[in-house]
Amino acid sequence: MKQPMLRMLGVSSAISLLAVTAVHAEDPVDLTIVSWGGAYTESQVRAYHDPYTAVKDHITIINDDGSANALAGLRSQSMAGNVTWDLVDMLPSDAQLACDEGIIMPIDADEMLAPAPDGTPASEDFLPGSLGECFIPQIVYSTVVTYNTEMFPANNQPGSIDDFFNTEDFPGRRAIQDRPAGNLEWALFADGVAPDDIYDVLATPEGVDRAFAKLDTIKDNLVFWTEGAQSPQLLADQEVAFSTGYNGRIFNAAQVEGQPFEIIWDGQIVEWDGWVIPYGPNQEEVLEYVYWATDTQRLADQAKYISYGPARASSAPLVSEHADLGIDMRPHMPTNPQNYETPIVLDNDFWTDYGDELRERFSNWMLRG
Amino acid sequence: MTQSDGTHSGSDAGHMVNGQMVTVDGTPLKASLKRAERKRTLIAFLLVAPLLTYLLISFIFPIGQMMWRSVDNPQVVTTLPKTLEALDDWDGEGLPDEPVFEALAEELAIASANRTVGQLAVRLNYEISAARGALMRTSRSVEDFEPPYKEDFLDAHRLWNDPAFYRIIKREGNPLTASYYIAAFDGTYNEDGEVVLQDENRRIYIDLFIRTFAMSLGITLITLLLGFPISFLMASLPMRHANLLMIFVLLPFWTSLLVRTTSWIVLLQQQGVINELLIALGFIGDDGRLGMIYNMTGTIIAMTHILLPFMVLPLYSVMKTIPPSYVRAAKSLGATPWTAFWRVYVPQTLPGIGAGAVLVFIISIGYYITPALVGGQSGQMISNLIAHHMQTSLNWGLAAALGSVLLISVLILYWVYNRLVGADSLKLG
Amino acid sequence: MENENPGEVFVAFDRVQKSYDGEELVVKDLNLAISKGEFLTMLGPSGSGKTTCLMMLAGFETATYGDILLDGQAINNIPPHKRGIGMVFQNYALFPHMTIGENLSFPLEVRGMDKSEREAKVMNALAMVQMEAFAGRRPAQLSGGQQQRVALARALVFEPELVLMDEPLGALDKNLREHMQYEIKHLHEKLGITVVYVTHDQTEALTMSDRIAVFDDGRIQQLASPADLYERPENAFVAQFIGENNRMQGEVESIEGDFAQVRLDDGSMVKALKVCVSEVGDKTTLSLRPERALVVKGDAQYANMFDATVKELIYLGDHIRSRVSVCGRDDFIMKVPNSSDHHSMRVGQSVRIGWSEHDCRALDAT
């Protein structure tokens, strides 16, 4: 808490100086906001940052594409006692870890976040289960299976997770991410487990064996990706026929770049993504920004630039057309009822508990190629 | 001595005083020499001081810290001291008694308030799955627990019913731990607390170490096979042509990694230039496209490309110093060109081969970016897992243990090399 | 060639030319016959083509034109390792990774000789150069002179009939070099081998050779025995290159039989042996060895007698090297024997000097 104190002193002495000349101006502030880069950061810049700094001209926002390693970054910054990040975009599971370690700020939703336009408090307006102890959700994104329509005859296009696991009728290589989360769920789902039962089954050793046995059936056709940008690339190069991937990136490749991709919404894996607030140097300004950037209109605005669903119930009706393409964004939202028939909601508690063990086994399984 | 004094007579260069050599002004010669030497030592030290400081800060200290982190284990000891004391009286069979739970309740409440329980939970989760869930869930409600605490704990999470959990807490209640190293060698503790190998389907690291070493060896051999002829050519060509060739060899140094990676992808992928060419020439059918990227082949191709200069430069610099008269002498003595090359030329390039091989091998062992980009799964090396534990799983203890194992094996290899070939024969150019 | 060759011809260069770049000849129309058992030295300044000739003979360079014959056989297309020619290199080229014994054993090994025979021959060859004790050492552990002996032994161990030596003593200090010169000469005499020796050191050439081929500008300027070469140089280059000489430029005034009257640049007339001049009016360089110019004592008479002024005296023990001014030049050198009357000479003193018309040679103008 030393630093804000010093800053306060600095600010007050600056003000007393300015008082002499009787000019009122706020100290310029740089906010470092960490996010995922690429199309995602772009959507935040256009929906949040630009409109905000247009009003608040003493604020400058610096974008840092460090979200992929956000937890490691937060840990080392707080360990070194030099927190330079003001606001960080991260996944709820990592947010929970950081929160438990006390390196990010706990959130009092109704205090710190704007209510819905109709007065519903924030804690009720955000979708159920999305707010965390230290986590403010912005979007719902999903991991989906996508295929390149040119790799299959027009009369035999795949349409379900079952088809993804059916190499006989739908030949070709498949790309999946090089970690167990998502892949094991799909394996069980394709093996006939109902979405609601998946994590109960996966918590038993037999369930894990069953999931790996199912993955074994397509192993010879598998390619693995690590970074989100790889999956549309692999599909576009026709290196693979199917790839799992983030629906926003697939949307961009298909709609903006015109790639022949089709999303299979069956068994989409749904997760939140949102803000956490480290104990950075500009807390007052950050809280002000967060209050504004997570209100109903702002969350709906982000959906103009990327096909991720807003995390507030009150934002859903405001989702409209893509800002540049002019197409209706609603059919492309993971939360669109037509897409949301058989979702699997990612269970972060499960993955924090069993993640280490399953990651080891998954790595072993991959490396045994 | 008297004899030598005699030669100095007439000059005051040296005297004997009480059996000791002294200088002109009577200071003992030894002390005077020491003073002169001390100044030299000091200057020498000042000259290297900036580098020494730099190395200390950027190299030695971080390595020391890494090795320390691989055994450092403060979480349980600092968070649960009373619980550990209470667990001393527990025989390890069945569930512990009430005093343990009383201490646990007290210390978890404190840890929860301090927000230190998270680190404890993460640490214990490395040892047993679901430990994180158990500790986090319990710590949120521990304020409301009432004596006797045992029942509240058993209700709070299923893991509290497992004696193994308490054995792990007790075992890890030591400021130093071997468990990261045990994990780095695919080991684990069994029910009786003995170290055994992991279940077969969870073993990764030993295989990966072996694969890393095998791939590095392969890359070293390929760079040698490719680098030897080109170095030989460069060493025998006139300077102007040799420089041009050298530029081609050094090209990978001057190209950014992204450009290189992109070009490999363009060349090597299934729809890539090489596959199309092979199909056009009729060597392979359209269904027989070769997988040359996103697998081990991709890693080997790319790393060979990058590391070739590290083989060529020492080879070239050694070959440049071998006069042509040796091979001529061998031929004049009746050796065929091959015998002259193999028995006379090659042995003299050994210092270069040694230096190049050691460089390439050691760099390959630690390589990380290229395999990550073009290696797919089968082309991953141990460094990629270290990076994974540093950045994704955030198990820094395990990452440090794996890194230390890698460091130590490189040192052992270097020692073996030194015994076999001799480090003084290394020629780096 | 005016010298008749004793014995049969063993090595022959027949109209050999060599060019590296297709534009310039480094060896121009070389004809040379070397007899069996001869010690022939190729002497010349660097770049004169002598080493190129040796390398062509060894097989490391190919002749651009012409034939090289060994024992009557053209060897142009035989690779070096099949020529069976021993060679000693400038820097010895002892294989540093092998012991002395292994170095010597190498040529026998590649000839498929069995081990016991090899060992006997190696020890024999080492004994020849008094290096038996060093068989187990590495080349780097030997001194330069020792390495030189080993290189010699290695070139001889497989009993070649022809041994080539490329400035083998160049890296040794003066004393050692002189010692090795005799040693090589004795080995040559003892073994009866043919030696082709390359050097730029005229003393070395004079000491060791049966015949010397003086190279310059890609040609043999003169091929003769050491004595002939010194006494009777055939052109100005040879005269200057071998030993010391006083050179005086002039023009032929008249010719009488074997002699020519030459007018020097300052007008004085000198009678000299007619070597390279044929007509009156030819430009010429007169060559006179310093030891053949004498201080005229008493009433001694010479064909050429001039008044000279002593400019400088250097005491060299056996003789006094005197620089005098004569015939309009300041750099005329005389070697005055250190006889009891030497102290009669003083700097600045005038002396009368003279020389025989047989000792002064009228060579080509340079």
Which token pair is C81? Answer: 């390792």
Residues A265 and A340 in one domain: yes
Angstrom distance (rounded) from CA B5 to CA B1: 6
CATH of domain C9-237: 3.40.50.300
pTM above 0.90, yes or no: no
Helices of type H across B56-148: 61-69, 74-79, 81-87, 98-114, 117-127, 131-141
- Cα distance from B36 to chain A (closest Cα, Å)? 45
Question: In degrees to the nearest 10, what's the CA dihedral of B274, B275, B278, B279?
Answer: -150
What is the model's pLDDT at position B210? Answer: 93
CA B32 vs CA B11, B35, C155: distances in Å: 19, 5, 57
Residues constituting chain B: 429
Alpha carbons A193 and A95: distance in angstroms, whole number: 29
Q: How far is C6 from chain B (nearest CA, A)?
A: 28
* Secondary structure tally for chain B: helices H, strands E: 22, 4
Question: Which chain C residues in 80-139 lie under 8 Å from chain B, judged by CB atoms?
Answer: 80-87, 89-91, 93, 95-97, 106-107, 110-111
B276 touches chain A (CB under 8 A): no
Same domain, yes or no, for A211 and A354? yes
pLDDT at A204 over 80: yes
Q: Does B326 touch chain C (CB under 8 A)?
A: yes
Q: Is the pLDDT of residue B424 over 70?
A: no
Write the CB contacts of A83 (distance below 8 Å, at least 6 apart in sequence).
Answer: A77, A278, A279, A280, A281
| Structure confidence at residue B7 (pLDDT) | 43
Q: Are residues A122 and A217 in the same domain?
A: no
Q: What is the spatial order of strands in the sheet that C319-326 belongs to? A: C294-295, C350-355, C304-315, C319-326, C329-337
Q: Taking each helix axis as running N to C, give the angle between helix B149-156 and helix B98-114, from 0 to 180 degrees, rounded to the nearest 10.
A: 60
CA A109 to CA A100: how far, in whole Å? 18
Closest by Cβ to A226, choosing from B130, B372, B393: B372
Does C54 reach chain B within 8 Å, measured CB to CB? no
Whether residue A120 sits in one domain with residue A6: yes
Q: How far apart are CA C195 and CA C190, in angstroms?
A: 12
On whether both A133 and A193 belong to a single domain, the answer is no
Beta-bridge partners for C79: none
Domain region containing A247: 141-272+336-367
A353 and A229 in a single domain? The answer is: yes
Q: Evaluate the CA torsion angle B351, B356, B359, B361 in order and state its sign.
A: negative
Whether the Cβ atoms of residue A63 and residue A33 lie closer than 8 Å to each other: yes
Domain match, A361 and A220 both: yes
Which tokens hold the place of C162?
A: 């022809």
**Residues A164 and A109 grouped into a single domain:** no
Average pLDDT over every residue of C102-127: 94
> A63 and A35 in contact (C-beta within 8 Å)?
yes
- Does residue A45 form part of some domain? yes
**Do A105 and A12 sit in the same domain of this protein?**
yes
Domains of chain B, each with CATH number or no CATH? 2-66 (no CATH), 74-177 (no CATH), 205-425 (1.10.3720.10)
pLDDT digits (tens, 9 = 90+) for A153-191: 999 999 999 999 999 999 999 999 988 999 999 999 999
Residue B426: pLDDT band with limits 50, 70, 90: low
Task: Note whether residue A331 is domain-resident.
Answer: no
Question: Residue A232 belongs to a domain with what CATH number?
Answer: 3.40.190.10
pLDDT tens-digit readout, A334-344 = 988 899 889 99
Chain B residues with beta carbon closer than 8 angstroms to that of C82: 334
Indicate the SS3 state at residue C363: strand
Average pLDDT over chain C, rounded to whole?
89
Measured between CA atoms, the residue of chain C closest to residue B328 is C60
Collapse the DSSP code of A278 into the 3-class scheme (helix H, G, I; strand E, B; otherwise coil) and give the result. strand
* DSSP 8-state secondary structure symbol assigned to residue A104: B
Q: How confident is the model at residue B422 (pLDDT cuts 50, 70, 90)?
A: low
Instruction: Spell out the residues 6+ positions from residue A57 whose beta carbon is closer than 8 angstroms to its own.
Output: none
Q: What is the mean pLDDT of residues B67-76?
A: 94
pLDDT greater than 60 at residue A2: no
With tokens 């030894």, the residue in question is B30
Q: What's the distance, CA C112 to chain centroid?
A: 38
Q: Residue B368 is encoded by which pair of tokens?
A: 């990380």
**Among the CATH numbers 3.20.20.450, 1.10.645.10, 3.40.50.12780, 2.40.50.100, which is that of C244-364?**
2.40.50.100
Quickly state the pLDDT bin for B15 (edges 50, 70, 90): low
| In a domain? residue A324 | no
What is the tally of structural domains in chain A?
2
- The secondary structure element, H or E, covering residue A34 is strand A29-34
pLDDT of residue B84: 94
pLDDT of residue C6: 53
Cβ of residue B275 closer than 8 Å to a chain A Cβ: no
Q: Which amino acid is at B47?
A: L
- What would the two tokens of residue A119 be? 């007065």
Q: Which residue of A has its CA nearest to B159?
A: A353
Q: With an 8 Å Cβ cutoff, are A102 and B133 in contact?
A: no
Higher pLDDT, A287 or A363: A287
Burial C278-301 (b: 16+ CB within 10 A, else e): eeeebebbbbbbbebbbbbeeeee
Region A284-295 average pLDDT: 95
pLDDT digit string, tens, across residues B163-193 = 999 999 999 999 999 999 999 999 988 877 8
Q: What is the mean pLDDT of residues A118-134?
A: 91
Chain B contacts in chain A segment 57-76 (CB below 8 A): 68-69, 71-72, 75
Sheet with C86-88, strands from edge to edge, namely C86-88, C162-166, C194-199, C39-43, C211-216, C219-224
pLDDT of residue C342: 54
Chain A: partners with 3+ C-beta pairs within 8 Å: B
Residue B423: per-residue pLDDT: 56
Asked whether residue B24 carries a pLDDT value surpassing 90, the answer given is no
pLDDT in tens, B368-408: 888 888 887 778 889 988 988 888 778 899 999 999 999 99
Length reported for chain C: 366
Q: Residues A133, A281: one domain?
A: yes
- Interatomic CA distance for residues B356 and B307, integer angstroms: 10
Residue A85 shares a structural domain with residue A127: yes
pLDDT over 70 at B12, yes or no: no
Do residue A103 and residue A237 come from a single domain? Answer: no
Question: What's the mean pLDDT in C43-70?
Answer: 92
User: Among all residues of chain A, which has the CA nearest to that of B295?
Assistant: A223
**A216: in domain:** yes
